[in-house]
C-alpha cells in the first residue's frame, strides 16, 4: 500500500466485495475476474501516483530558442502558442514536406484529440506542430474535418530538432511536450520520453494518449501486432 495514502482499502478487498455479477458466468470466470479487478484497481492507483509524481516535477529547462511558427492567424513565437493559458501542450505531427500524406498513427490520435480539443482548451492550450507549410496543413485540416485543433508550421525546423520531433538522423518521430509560463518565463515541463519498448511492443506512452489502443486492449484479441489505422477506409 502507498505510504502516502494509508487509508486506502486493499485492492483485493475491494475486488472481493464487488457486487457485480454477469448473467450465466461461471465460478471460474468470477474468480479470474475478481483477481483481474484487483489488478485493475492497483493500476488505477498507480496511474494516479505517476500523475502526482509528474505534477511534482521541479522546474524544467528554460526555453531559450527563437522558435518561429505560422498558424492560420499568421506568424508567431512559442509564447504566442499559449494564448490565454499558462500551460501549453504541443504535439509534433509527422507531416513534413517529404510526406505525401501524414502519418496515419499520428492522425488517428489527433482525430481523438479533435473531439476533446474544445474541452481541453478550457484548461490548457493545445498546438499541433508540423514541418509542412501552413497552407498544406490547413488543407489537410479541412479534408479531415477538424474544427478545434490548432495547426502550426515550424518555419525553421528548430523546434522539431530541439524538442524530440526529429531523430539525430533527421527522421520525424511523434513527440508530446508540455510547457509552462510563469511570471512571463517559459519553461519546459514534461515530454513523452518512452522511446524504448518491451519485446513485441511498439514504443508508446503509459497511459497511451490514443484512445484507439486503450479500447482495443479491452477486447480478447487485444491491439495485435500487425494492424495499424489507415487514413481512409
pLDDT digits over 141-188, tens only? 999 999 999 999 999 999 999 999 999 999 999 999 999 999 999 999
- Mean pLDDT across the chain, nearest whole number? 94
Closest by CA position to 136, among listed 96, 90, 173? 96
Distance of CA 176 to the CA centre of its chain: 6
Q: What is the pLDDT of residue 225?
A: 83
Beta strands across the sheet bearing 68-71? 74-77, 68-71, 151-154, 125-130, 87-92, 175-182, 185-191
Confidence of residue 6 (pLDDT cuts 50, 70, 90): low
Confidence of residue 4 (pLDDT cuts 50, 70, 90): low
Q: Are 62 and 55 in contact (CB under 8 A)?
A: no
pLDDT digits over 80-111, tens only? 999 999 999 999 999 999 999 999 999 999 99
pLDDT digits over 34-48, tens only? 999 999 999 999 999
- What is the pTM (predicted TM-score) of this model? 0.92
Q: What is the pLDDT of residue 202?
A: 78
Amino acid at each position: 500500500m502507498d505510504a502516502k495514502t494509508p487509508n486506502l482499502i486493499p485492492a483485493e478487498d475491494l475486488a472481493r466485495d464487488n457486487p457485480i455479477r454477469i448473467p450465466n458466468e461461471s465460478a471460474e470466470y468470477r474468480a479470474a475476474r475478481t483477481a483481474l479487478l484487483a489488478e485493475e484497481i492497483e493500476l488505477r492507483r498507480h496511474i494516479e501516483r505517476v500523475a502526482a509524481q509528474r505534477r511534482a516535477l521541479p522546474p524544467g529547462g528554460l526555453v531559450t530558442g527563437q522558435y518561429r511558427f505560422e498558424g492560420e492567424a499568421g506568424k508567431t513565437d512559442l509564447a504566442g502558442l499559449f494564448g490565454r493559458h499558462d500551460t501549453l501542450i504541443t504535439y509534433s505531427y509527422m507531416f513534413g514536406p517529404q510526406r505525401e500524406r501524414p502519418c496515419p498513427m499520428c492522425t488517428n490520435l489527433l482525430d481523438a484529440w479533435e473531439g476533446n480539443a474544445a474541452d481541453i482548451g478550457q484548461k490548457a492550450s493545445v498546438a499541433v506542430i508540423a514541418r509542412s507549410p501552413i497552407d498544406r496543413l490547413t488543407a489537410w485540416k479541412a479534408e479531415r474535418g477538424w474544427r478545434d485543433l490548432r495547426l502550426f508550421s515550424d518555419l525553421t525546423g528548430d523546434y522539431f530538432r530541439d524538442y524530440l520531433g526529429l531523430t539525430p538522423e533527421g527522421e520525424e518521430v511523434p513527440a508530446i511536450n508540455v510547457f509552462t509560463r510563469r511570471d512571463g518565463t517559459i519553461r519546459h515541463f514534461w515530454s513523452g520520453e518512452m522511446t524504448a519498448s518491451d519485446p513485441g511492443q511498439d514504443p508508446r506512452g503509459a497511459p497511451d494518449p490514443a484512445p484507439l489502443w486503450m479500447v482495443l486492449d479491452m477486447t480478447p484479441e487485444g491491439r495485435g501486432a500487425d494492424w495499424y489505422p489507415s487514413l481512409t477506409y
